[in-house]
Amino acid sequence: MVDTVAAPNWRAWQQSWDRQQEWYLPDREERFRVMLDAVEALVGPEPKILDLACGTGSITDRAVRRFPRAASTGVDLDPALLTIARGHFAADHRVRFITADLRDPNWTDELPHRSYDAVLTATALHWLDSDALRVLYGQLAGVVRDGGVFLNADHMPGEGTPRIDAGVRAFEDARRERARAEGALDWAEWWQAAAGDPVLGAPVAERFKIFGNPADGPDHASGVAEAFQPVGWHADTLREVGFGEARAVWCSPSDAMVLALK
Alpha helix ranges (H) inside the chain? 10-24, 28-43, 58-66, 79-88, 130-141, 162-181, 187-195, 201-211, 231-240
Say if CB 16 and CB 190 are below 8 A apart. yes
What's the farthest any 2 CA atoms get from each other in the chain? 67
CA torsion, points 200, 205, 206, 207, in degrees to nearest 10?
80
Say if CB 50 and CB 143 are below 8 A apart. yes
Reported as a pLDDT band with limits 50, 70 and 90, residue 1 is: very low
Three-state SS for 182? coil
Say if CB 102 and CB 77 are below 8 A apart. yes
CATH numbers and ranges of domains, the chain: 10-81+103-148+177-189+221-261 (3.40.50.150)
Distance CA 100, CA 193 (A): 25
pLDDT at 160: 86
Task: For 158, list phi and psi in degrees, rounded to 5.
Answer: -75, 175
Nearby residues of 225 by Cβ (< 8 Å), 6 or more positions away: 218
pLDDT of 2 > 50? The answer is no
Distance CA 176, CA 174 (A): 5
pLDDT digits (tens, 9 = 90+) for 201-253: 999 999 999 999 999 876 655 544 456 899 999 999 999 999 999 999 999 98
Say if CB 198 and CB 72 are below 8 A apart. no
Three-state SS for 114? coil
Reported as a pLDDT band with limits 50, 70 and 90, residue 4 is: low
User: Which DSSP string do the residues of 6-27 spell out, in sequence order?
Assistant: PPP-HHHHHHHHHHHHHHH-TT
pLDDT digits (tens, 9 = 90+) for 80-130: 999 999 999 999 999 999 999 999 999 999 999 999 999 999 999 999 999
Three-state SS for 168? helix
Say if CB 151 and CB 258 are below 8 A apart. yes
